[in-house]
Structure formats: C-alpha cells, structure tokens
A and B are shown apart, each in its own frame.
Chain A
Amino acid sequence: MRVYHFSEEPYPDAWGAERPSLRITLPNEICDPKVTHRLYNRYIDEWMLADELGFDIMLNEHHSTATSLTASANIILSILARVTERARLLVLGVPVGNRPDPIRVAEEMAMIDCISQGRLEFGMIKGVPYEIEPANSNGVSLMRRFWEAHDLIIKAMTTHDGPFNFEGEFFHYRNVNVWPRPYQQPRPRVWISTATPANAREIGQKGHVLASFMGGIAETVKLHKAYAEGYRAGGNAGPLSVDNFAYLAMCGVGSTEAEGRRRCDVIADYLRTNAQVADPFNKPPGYFSVEAAVRSARSLNPRAFRTLYTPSGRAVELSTASLDDFIECGIAFAGTPDQVYQQICAFVDGIGGLGNLLLMGQGGKLDAADTTDSMKLFAREVMPRLKEREARRPAFEAA
C-alpha cells in the first residue's frame, strides 16, 4: 500500500462559513500576495516533509477559489519533481475536459516525468461542477471532450515514429509529435476518478487506476465491483491488483484522541464548505444528467451537489455534519495513531483491499504545526504497520 499526502493548498484567511460563496464570485482583493507567497512556500515545505517521511504526494487543482491556491497542479509538481527525492508525484488530476490544449498537457506531463526520473502518476479528472464556470467549458459535451482528450494525450505520449494527424470533434492537429517522451515507458500510469459505477466500468476496461473520493464503504465496494467487471470485459489479463484502486479520505492524528480529532475536525471544514458556491454555479447545465437534475431539484438541499449516507442509510447533510458523522461514513480517520490505524484497517477490509490510500492531511485552516505533527505521527506510528499488513494481502478478486 502506498499512502499519499494531499492538500488543496487553501488560503485560510479568506475561508469562512460566513461567506456566501468561497468560489467563482469571491473577489481576489482579499487574496494578499504576501500571504500567498508565504503559503505556497509553507505548502512546498510540507510536500518536502511528506517526501522525507515516506509519504507519496497528491495534488489537484481548483480555480477562482479561496479553498485552493493550486490553480495549476503542474507548476507545483514541476517544483516537487526537482526538490523531492523519492515520493510518487500524483496529479489527480488534470481536468482534461476543461483544458483547451491536450497536447500541452502531454508535454507538461512528460517534462515532469523526466525531471522527476519517472515518479509521475498521471490523473485525468472531469472536475467538480463549479470548475465549469472558471474554464467556461460546456457541461453538455464535457465527457465527450474528456475522452477525446484522454485518447489524444495517450496517443501523443506513446507515439515515437514522428507526427500523426488528429482531427476529432474537439481537437485538431495535423502534426502531433511531442517532445520529450515520458521517462516511464511506455507511459506513466493513468488514474481517473469517478463516483458512478458506469464510469468505473469504463475505467476498468481501460485498465487505469480507479480513484474514488470520500464515498464510504458501500459506495466504494460498488465502484470496485463495476471496475472489476470492466477490467475483465476489457480483456485485461492476470490477477486484478488492489494497486488499481485509490481512495481519498481525511485524516488527523494526535498524541491524544482529542488532539487528533481536533485536527481532523478542522480539515473537515473543507467538506462542510463544499456547497458554499454562489447559486447556480454548483449546477452547471449538462454536468449532471437530466434525471439527476430533477432528483436534485426535489431534494432536501437543492444547492448541495452531493449527499452522504452512513452505513445504516442515514442521510448526512455535509454542511452541518459532525466529525463522528464523517468517521461513521468512512471518509475521515481521526484520533490517536492506534485509533487511526484501526479505522483504516476496518475500512480497507470492508472494501476488500486498497493499494493507494490518499489522505487529506491538511485542509481548511489547519496550520503548519498541526499539519506536520499529524503527518509525523502517522508516518512513525501508522504507516509502517499499515504497509506491513497490506503487503500480505492477496489480489483483489482472490480476496
């Protein structure tokens, strides 16, 4: 098992429950360049610490928001490619359906892979609904564009005998010939995130890594099952490794239970503020199916784009959920190292194994002291046990 440290690199001073919108409409006059300078460098220090402690590294990107200063994950990754030594560098991911130029993506990925000596893990994502507006991409054709970009990028990374022609529905190039080649041959692994079994099946067919975010045991089991079906239908041979699965949760560790819980509770404000988006930017047309849009319009909180359920089926309202709600749902691990270890083991056993645990170890207003202490406790007292335990786990379908 690999454990990835993840942070969205927030701008905490502007992040508050009192703001009607943390995204898209929040003026950047409250984004102080001097503070931003300090924050970027603080987060880079934390990524470097993650590398030293034995974590791998996960970044993503968001736009027009105080919740994340990572407007380009590739820029931070380029720095980390040089200043870290051993960590895998996961971008999860590049919103390829929102980017205008897939060839540029292929080039940047290959550069980062070469600079880091083959440590890139390449995630492609659809992106959350409120990313549609900053990119001004059309939600109606988003997934057609996503898959066309996916195909083009992979072909560009793996074609070595000179230019090829590409004239698709969205992207047109007469001479695709990307320099450099990626360091990893034939190409870095591709990861794709989803929350629906239909997409999980398609990702399985292609044999990519399936990442899911904070779905809890029941939802994750459904996704992994659909993935396995697709994996077989796609003609992929050999045992299906748990390395093809990744799951993201929040994590806070402390010397005492109270300290670990407090840290995770601060991180959890990341989720609680998810729906803090100016209406109607959380519901771009075409992003959700018409059926889902109808269901959502009739739901308890039409502004939320996602509802969480406990294992017993209780609906949890994200904006007011307690830390215990999140722990019960399997999307937060919090407390002492022992407690966190037990919670993770229970979760991983519940889904039949996991090769890549993605941990949001910094979120919201969690400061550098709390973040690094939590990371150190995890690295020293949880990670070795977890890695040793999971190294003995059989392939997914044998489990």
Chain B
Amino acid sequence: MTRDLRQHELNGVTLGVETAGAGRDILYLTSGMWFGDDSPFIDRLAAHGRVIAPVAPGFGPGDPGARMTTIDDIAYFYLDLIDALKLRNVLLVGASFGGWIAAEMAIKNCRDIDAITLIDPLGVKIGDRETRDIADLYGLPDAELRARAYVDPSIFVSDVKAISDEELTRRMRARESLARYGWQPFMHDPKLLGRLHRVDAPTQFIWGAQDRIVTPAYGREYARRVPGARFVEIANAAHFPQAEQPGAVVEAIISHAGAPRAAAR
C-alpha cells in the first residue's frame, strides 16, 4: 500500500497528514500511545477507502507551544482540517487518545461526518473522584502498561536496541505530547460526558475485551451516553484491538459505515 505523508500549514500550525488508499474518506485518528503502533492498521484500513491520518500537533516535529494545549484545540483544528482538505461523508475513526479527539469533534459538528467508530477511547470521567478510570499512564512502568494494553505484549517491539532512532523519537514525542493535552484533568474532559447527547451521527464503540487501560465496563457506560450508539466487544484484544484483531475491527468499521448521507451543506 502506497502511503503519502505531507506537511500542511493550517491556522499557523504545521501538521503532517498521512494518506493511503482510495475511495470513501476515512479520517483515522491514531491512538497517540507511545506503546502502540497504528501503522500496520492504516494499511489494512486503506484497502477499504482513502485513509487520512493526521499526526496531531506535537506528535511530529516542531513545538506547537501555547497554540495547542487542550483537547478542544485539536478537535477544532481537525474540524478545520476536514474543511481544508474538503473531506465529505467522512467515516470518522479514532482509537484511544484519537477516540477522545473524535468524540470531542462529534459533539461540536457532525455536518461532514457520516459515521463514527471509537476504539477503546479515552476522554470521560465515569467513576467517583477517588476511582481511577484511566490507567495512570505516567505512573506505571512501560512493561506494566504493555501488559495492560495487549493480550500478547510481544507483538509490540519494546526493546530500544531493536528499533530505529526515528521510531524511538516518534514514541518519545507521543509520550510527551499525550501529556501536553491530557495531563490534567487526566486524559479526560470533565464536560464531555454531559455533551455526548449532541453527537449527531451513527456511532459505535469497539472495545478490546481484555483492555486494562480503560475497561469494557467504562466503555459501556461511555457508549450509553451517546444516542443510539452500539457497543462491540472484541475477543482476544485489549487496548489496541486494531493491532491485535485488525480484521475484526476493519469489518466492524466498514459494516457500520452505511451509505453516504445526503450533503447537509
């Protein structure tokens, strides 16, 4: 699969956008986790449409500084990106941190979005103030994070000696920039849960049955707040079903897509 990475200048911020495949626009927002890799999944997905995968500001080269500090900053930025790239009848797919961004976009404006798939998304607070809904990503050793995030952690190459400087840099940027947006409140927006009723596109949640970064119970409650949303549990997968069960995830996304909606504009 040919992939194309281009730098775009939007609202004074530079961001990389990767595209692959042809057909219906699939805006794929990657997990953002330094112990995950969405790259193979983008190839899988690109067999079914034109995948557009932005590299969130801070996750690529350059420091977005004070311009980009909150999840709202990215959500509005990506809605502008949909306009700038003239994407239409978009299938919006987001995983983990990317799922959180997708949910924040969806409560703002679904005009160009036909269907939404959220894969083990972060972003809401379900439990009480002393309950940690989302694993303490910066308080657990990486080996423990991988154990929580994979049924089989060996599918992710963690030995730094076995990876390139480029890949190690990508991971370190991700580790830093995830904190840029999600340090406090930790990986959630306290207002999001109360705004999910605004989501105006068919939505499904896909959840790895063994996810211990955010559990399926958390996911079910999250899904319950989105009107009409369906919840699909994927067996033999944890936080990254797109890496552990890519076939099942692609099938769920495509079967959920439906026909393009009539243009609302």
Do A and B interact with each other, yes or no? yes
A140 and B180 form a contact (CB under 8 A): yes
B153-166 vs A, CB cutoff 8 Å, 1 = contact: the mask equals 00000001000010
Most chain A beta-carbon contacts within 10 A, residue among B66, B168, B177, B179: B179
* Nearest 3 Cβ contacts at the A-B interface: A285-B179, A138-B183, A293-B172
Interface presence of A294 (CB below 8 A): yes
Which of B140, B142, B169 is close to A290, meaning CB atoms less than 8 Å apart?
B169
User: What distance in Å separates the Cβ of B252 from its nearest Cβ neighbour in chain A?
Assistant: 32
B174-189 vs A, CB cutoff 8 Å, 1 = contact: the mask equals 0111111001100000
Which of B66, B141, B169, B175 is close to A285, meaning CB atoms less than 8 Å apart?
B175
Residues on B lying within 8 angstroms of A by beta carbon are 65-66, 69, 138-142, 160, 165, 168-169, 172-173, 175-180, 183-184
User: What distance in Å separates the Cβ of B62 from its nearest Cβ neighbour in chain A?
Assistant: 11
How many Å lie between the Cα of A299 and that of B130 in the bound state?
Answer: 37
Cβ–Cβ < 8 Å partners of B183 in chain A? 136, 138-140, 285
Q: How many residues of A contact B (CB 8 A)?
A: 19
Known contacts A280-B142, A285-B175, A286-B179: A136-B169 contact under CB 8 Å: no
User: What distance in Å separates the Cβ of B226 from its nearest Cβ neighbour in chain A?
Assistant: 29
A169 and B66 form a contact (CB under 8 A): yes
Cβ–Cβ < 8 Å partners of B184 in chain A? 136, 138
User: What distance in Å separates the Cβ of A35 from its nearest Cβ neighbour in chain B?
Assistant: 28
Cβ–Cβ < 8 Å partners of B179 in chain A? 138-140, 284-286
Closest chain B residue, CB of each to CB of A284 = B138
Residues of A246-300 at the interface with B, using a CB-CB cut-off of 8 Å, are: 279-281, 284-286, 290, 293-294, 297-298
Interface presence of A141 (CB below 8 A): yes
Interface presence of A370 (CB below 8 A): no
B172 and A133 form a contact (CB under 8 A): no
How many Å lie between the Cα of A136 and that of B182 in the bound state?
Answer: 12
24 contacts between A and B (CB under 8 A): A136-B183, A138-B179, A138-B184, A140-B176, A140-B177, A141-B180, A169-B66, A280-B138, A284-B138, A284-B179, A285-B178, A285-B183, A286-B176, A286-B179, A286-B180, A290-B169, A290-B173, A290-B176, A293-B172, A294-B168, A294-B169, A297-B160, A297-B168, A298-B160
Interface presence of A42 (CB below 8 A): no
How many Å lie between the Cα of A235 and that of B69 in the bound state?
Answer: 34
User: What distance in Å separates the Cβ of A383 from its nearest Cβ neighbour in chain B?
Assistant: 45
A144 and B66 form a contact (CB under 8 A): yes
Cβ–Cβ < 8 Å partners of A133 in chain B? 138-139
How many Å lie between the Cα of A319 and that of B251 in the bound state?
Answer: 53
Cβ–Cβ < 8 Å partners of A140 in chain B? 176-177, 179-180, 183
Cβ–Cβ < 8 Å partners of B66 in chain A? 141, 144, 169
Cβ–Cβ < 8 Å partners of A144 in chain B? 65-66
Cβ–Cβ < 8 Å partners of B65 in chain A? 144
Cβ–Cβ < 8 Å partners of A279 in chain B? 141
Cβ–Cβ < 8 Å partners of A290 in chain B? 169, 172-173, 176
How many Å lie between the Cα of A294 and that of B175 in the bound state?
Answer: 11
Cβ–Cβ < 8 Å partners of B142 in chain A? 280
B168 and A285 form a contact (CB under 8 A): no
Cβ–Cβ < 8 Å partners of B180 in chain A? 138, 140-141, 286
Cβ–Cβ < 8 Å partners of A281 in chain B? 139
Closest chain B residue, CB of each to CB of A133 = B139
